[in-house]
Amino acid sequence: MASENVYVEHCKGVNGLDKVILREIRGCSAEVYLDGGQVTSWKNEFREQLLFLSSKATFKPPNAIRGGIQICFPQFGTIGSLEQHGFARNRLWSVDRDPPPFPANTSHRAFVDLILRHSEEEVKIWPHRYECRLRVALGPGGDLMLTSRIRNTNTDGKSFTFTFAYHTYFSVTDISEVRVEGLETLDYLDNLKNRERFTEQGDALTFESEVSVDKVYLSTPTKIAILDHERKRTFVLRKDGLPDAVVWNPWDKKAKAMADFGDDEYKHMLCVTAACVEKPIILKPGEEWKGRLEISAVPSSYCSGQLDPRRIFRSN
């Protein structure tokens, strides 16, 4: 039991809220709040923060925490009848004492299993019963892995439809020095232009136009890279069951309009969100959907301005 406590610690966080700290021997760590089932911190072995958390974030349930990784279910964005990004990020999750079996992996000792089930109050606004399970794991090398399993537990024979996203806020040095690779030439829906469909131009996505960005990229590859040129760091996203990717930065005007977001903090964050948005998932009673996100932070390797694929897109 003592050895397990090295890897997983249940404790109190901001405002006395329950949280779980995951640690690995090399010094990597992650923090998960039960409110929202939300990862709020991910640090490498040098104790450098890799996720963005606003200095004005409020830890006051049921408000979502601004930053980290928000679980968006059963709705992402405002397309639908529910509040923006659904209710999962506003609910209190429980530690799952009896999770379903995962593929055997003895190297992952720093993990926690959470579960969210329907409430009778919630059924009034979304008339379905479900189980939403989340495993957050920290690999020995510092990789952060999130696996979600959603099951339809309706007893009335009805299917339900939902969208889902891991709304991830990455910490970057300077947004104007960041590029995203893996989305070039893809179609996207521009949320700032009534979801009109466009095709991405250019070799990589950059952020120098000084306007807010809110795009849903469709049929994206399983691997996407975010290059922080100034810090010489690259985030690599690997995803399964999540065909879309949402790229968002509010820029200055929208940043100033958000009470829980610093006026200039847009310069130091970028959301690249693994999602299933364009084609909602349909589950019949008893059926289960699974989605997975793995993110790693590696030193950037440039060759004529391009990534060295042997280093960044190495096989697992």
List binding-site positions for substrate.
66, 84, 89
The enclosing H or E element of 311 equals helix 309-312
Residues annotated within the binding site are 66, 84, 89
8 A C-beta contact, residue 73 and residue 41: no
8 A C-beta contact, residue 164 and residue 150: yes
The CA distance from 67 to 250, in Å, is 13
Would you call 122 helix, strand, or coil by DSSP?
helix
The CA distance from 243 to 237, in Å, is 12
Radius of gyration of the chain (CA): 19
DSSP type of residue 93: P
The token pair at 253 is 């005007």
The CA distance from 50 to 40, in Å, is 10
DSSP type of residue 73: B
Q: Which residues does residue 178 pair with via DSSP β-bridges, in sequence order?
A: 228
Torsion, Cα 87 8 260 233, to 10 degrees, reads -110
Nearest residue to 260 via CA among 110, 72, 53: 53
